[in-house]
């Protein structure tokens, strides 16, 4: 099972699992073992030291066999600890689910009760409960379970509130399911992992708390041993006969350590976000390998990428997301980058300004020159002043890039003021100007809208306005129209085209749609598996694709009114970039591939104003003449 495999990868958790397995197994078989009776006193043999004849761990102040008491005591402590955790989790989760699901007054009444319980320091509360019920192991169990209920109730309520109004729960309600069924089939499966995680991280605590109560004489009563009462009885002989307290003390330490390590491992294995490194803090700029070979600088173009290589190093795997990409763009020019999803377009774009998350991202080779200056490995301060003011980005999903709690005007002003100081009125005027520039009607009023009050196309215009806020020289647009419908897409494309002509912007436009490339781009680079396979003027490539991949990609675009051509999907999938084949990466999916294609490196050969990485290109009738 993948859960166990994940758990086993965490060595500390594995150690915890093994230790706990041994302890629990021993506790289970204790009654079958040939042990001395745990409660029979033999005052003639008091305080026998460990490793003596007939008493492996020695005896206590009443001459009882410590090994036997330890085994029986561990059995009892584990049972009480697990029982308390189970009770607290069940009752707490039930309370939390009811409060979170019904909400309103039910929620208020229940949660205020829980708050009251939480207002007491909880060991005091446990003491008070035991004092009221009277000492005894069952009462200690009740007390420990009771003081932990609020913890579970709060946790689970929070999760439930988040789920209770999800669309699939509403759908279940609309289909006429009863509340009980919704809770059991829609809510519970979603909160169970959280309950398991909370339990696995609190069982250790509960064992400690029970031991604490027993230590104070409020838990297990003599002569029955649990780990806490053994410690309590050994207290008077702490200095003279330390083995009597060390034995149960070590056992408590081992159990709690093992449970906590295991609990952390369980949490990590259950939470898919932690696996992919959600807790890693990415650095402000992408890391650069020390042995990178920079490329020479270029003058006439504004932005040049030279043999840029960006990789992701995850554990011992290396993902070559960008494997030596060279591109350049001039002022007023629009360069398209096209390729299937996963071909490395976004990583290329983000590498330009060092925006790839590091770790795990790493730029291992090549250069990015902006106005003749190498940005790869440039100091963070340098990159920060260039980001947004010289090179700006537009991303796919404006819903995700705009802050939901601020008005769009304030977000525009913030984009400006992060690069130069600007007064309130001036900022507002500039923001209105920007919204007008991206053709938002009635900009004066829309400036006070929140992002959710705008439509998708409108939000993307705001995204473009933000990119324009500091009059950048280069705009990198990463699939800015993919989330929009076709009519809005056409408007956004013509807007970008106008801006480029009016202001002489250089645009790098990433897309997976040849239709879009044809409308906007002067040149286009086709990417596959992290490399450019064909590059050239858009018209030339659209008229006569030379690389089989380009040709197949174009065959995927429907043609309005054409009707005669069959739409064809490309069979197979792009290769995983951590395991690229030698030679041409497209060969496995290509019907023109021959053995040479798979043999070794194929260079990107220039042919006039085009370039091609293919040994057996598609022949064009015109080219043959």
Residues that bind Mg ion (CB under 5 A): 346
321 contacts ligand ADP (rule: CB under 6 A): yes
Confirm or reject binding of residue 344 to ligand ADP (CB under 6 A). Answer: yes
Residue 533 binds ligand ADP, judged by CB under 6 A:
no
Rg (CA), the chain: 34
The one segment of 286-294, 335-343, 490-498, 580-588 that binds ligand ADP by CB under 6 A:
335-343
Structure tokens at 591: 């019907």
In angstroms, the first-to-last Cα distance of the chain is 61
CB of 149 to ligand ADP, least distance (A): 40
**CB 346 to ligand ADP: min, Å:** 3
Count residues binding ligand ADP (CB under 6 A): 14
Contacts of 478 (CB under 8 A, 6+ apart): 345, 346, 349, 393, 394, 395, 396, 510
Q: How far apart are CA 307 and CA 452, in angstroms?
A: 41
Q: Which of 251, 255, 347, 499 binds ligand ADP (CB under 6 A)?
A: 347
Among 38, 58, 360, 366, binds ligand ADP (CB under 6 A): 360
Region from 171-179, 249-257, 283-291, 343-351 binding ligand ADP, contact rule CB under 6 A:
343-351
- Rounded to whole angstroms, the Cα distance separating 454 from 408 reads 10
- Closest distance between ligand ADP and the C-beta of residue 517, in Å? 14
342 binds ligand ADP (CB under 6 A): yes
Q: How far is the CB of 361 from ligand ADP (least distance, A)?
A: 7
Look up residue 570 and give its DSSP letter: P
Residue 40 to residue 561: CA distance in whole angstroms: 97
Is 346 an interacting residue with respect to ligand ADP (CB under 6 A)?
yes
**Distance between CA atoms of 358 and 184, rounded to whole angstroms?**
42
Contact region for ligand ADP (CB under 6 A) — 64-72, 158-166, 338-346, 490-498? Answer: 338-346
Least distance in angstroms from the C-beta of 480 to Mg ion: 11
Residue 347 interaction partner, one of Mg ion, ligand ADP, none, beta carbon < 5-8 Å per kind: ligand ADP
Q: What angle do CA 529, 533, 539 make, to 5 degrees?
A: 130
Structure tokens at 226: 């649990």
Whether the CB-CB separation of 604 and 532 falls below 8 Å is answered with yes
> Quick check: helix, strand or coil at residue 283?
coil
Residue 343 binds which of ligand ADP, Mg ion, none (CB < 5-8 A, kind-dependent): ligand ADP
Residue 583 binding result from Mg ion, ligand ADP, none, given CB thresholds of 5 to 8 Å by partner type: none
Q: Which of 345, 446, 461, 531 binds ligand ADP (CB under 6 A)?
A: 345
Residue 321 contact among ligand ADP, Mg ion, none, beta carbon within 5 to 8 Å by kind: ligand ADP
Within residues 553-592, the interface with ligand ADP by CB under 6 A covers 577
Helices 456-468 & 424-437 angle (0-180, nearest 10): 120
Choosing from 339, 365, 463, 575, the residue that interacts with ligand ADP (CB under 6 A) is 339
* Contact between 314 and ligand ADP per CB under 6 A: yes
At 117, give phi and psi (nearest 5°).
-60, -40
Among Mg ion, ligand ADP, none, partner that 332 touches (CB below 5 to 8 angstroms by kind):
none
DSSP string for 466-532: HHHTT--SEEEEESTTTTS-HHHHHHHHHHHHHHHHHHT-EEEEEES-HHHHHHH-SEEEEEETTEE
List interacting residues with ligand ADP (CB under 6 A).
312, 314, 319, 321, 339, 341-347, 360, 577
């Amino acid at each position: 099972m993948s859960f166990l495999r994940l758990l086993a990868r965490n060595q500390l958790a594995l150690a915890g699992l093994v230790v706990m397995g041994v302890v629990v197994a021993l506790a289970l078989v204790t009654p079958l073992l040939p042990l001395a009776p745990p409660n029979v006193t033999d005052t003639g043999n008091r305080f026998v030291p460990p490793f003596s004849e007939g008493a492996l761990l020695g005896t206590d102040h009443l001459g009882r066999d410590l090994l036997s008491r330890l085994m029986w005591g561990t059995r009892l402590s584990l049972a009480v600890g697990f029982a308390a955790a189970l009770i607290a989790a069940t009752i707490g989760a039930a309370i939390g689910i009811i409060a979170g699901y019904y909400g309103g007054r039910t929620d208020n009444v229940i949660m205020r009760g829980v708050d009251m319980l939480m207002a007491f320091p909880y060991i005091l509360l446990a003491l008070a409960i035991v004092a009221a019920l009277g000492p005894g192991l069952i009462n200690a169990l009740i007390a420990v379970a009771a003081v932990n209920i609020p913890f579970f109730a709060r946790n689970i309520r929070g999760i439930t509130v988040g789920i209770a109004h999800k669309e699939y729960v509403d759908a279940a309600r609309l289909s006429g399911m009863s509340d009980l069924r919704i809770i059991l089939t829609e809510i519970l499966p979603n909160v169970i992992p959280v309950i398991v995680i909370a339990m696995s991280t609190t069982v250790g605590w509960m064992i400690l708390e029970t031991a604490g109560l027993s230590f104070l004489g409020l838990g297990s009563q003599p002569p029955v041993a649990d780990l806490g009462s053994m410690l309590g009885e050994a207290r008077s002989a702490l200095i003279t006969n330390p083995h009597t307290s060390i034995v149960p003390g070590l056992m408590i330490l081992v159990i709690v350590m093992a449970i906590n390590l295991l609990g952390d491992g369980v949490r990590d294995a259950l939470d898919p976000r932690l696996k992919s490194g959600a807790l890693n803090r990415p650095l402000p700029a992408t890391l650069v390998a020390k042995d990178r070979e920079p490329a020479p600088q270029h003058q006439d173009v504004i932005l040049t990428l030279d043999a840029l290589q960006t990789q992701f190093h995850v554990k011992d795997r290396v993902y070559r997301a960008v494997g030596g990409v060279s591109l350049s763009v001039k002022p007023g020019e629009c360069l398209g980058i096209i390729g299937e999803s996963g071909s490395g377009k976004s990583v290329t774009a983000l590498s330009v300004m060092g925006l790839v998350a590091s770790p795990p991202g790493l730029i291992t080779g090549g250069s990015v020159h902006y106005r003749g200056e190498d940005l790869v490995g440039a100091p963070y301060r340098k990159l920060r002043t260039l980001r947004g003011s010289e090179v700006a980005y537009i991303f796919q999903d404006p819903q995700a890039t705009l802050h939901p709690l601020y008005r769009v005007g304030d977000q525009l002003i913030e984009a400006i003021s992060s690069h130069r100081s600007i007064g309130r009125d001036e900022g507002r005027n500039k923001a209105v100007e920007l919204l007008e520039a991206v053709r938002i009607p009635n900009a004066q009023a829309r400036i006070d809208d929140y992002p959710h009050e705008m439509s998708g196309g409108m939000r993307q215009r705001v995204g473009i306005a933000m990119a324009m806020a500091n009059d950048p020289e280069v705009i990198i647009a990463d699939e800015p129209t993919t989330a929009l419908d076709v009519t809005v897409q056409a408007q956004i494309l013509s807007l970008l085209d106008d801006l480029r002509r009016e202001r002489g912007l250089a645009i790098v436009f990433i897309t997976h749609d040849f239709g879009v490339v044809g409308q906007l781009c002067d040149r286009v680079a086709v990417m596959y598996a992290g490399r450019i396979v064909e590059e050239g003027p858009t018209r030339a490539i659209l008229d006569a694709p030379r690389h089989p991949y380009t040709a197949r990609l174009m065959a995927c675009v429907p043609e309005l009114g054409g009707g005669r051509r069959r739409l064809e999907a490309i069979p197979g999938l792009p290769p995983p970039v951590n395991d690229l084949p030698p030679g041409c990466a497209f060969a496995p999916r290509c019907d023109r591939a021959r053995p040479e294609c798979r043999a070794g490196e194929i260079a990107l050969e220039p042919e006039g104003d085009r370039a091609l990485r293919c040994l057996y290109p598609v022949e064009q009738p015109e080219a043959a003449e």
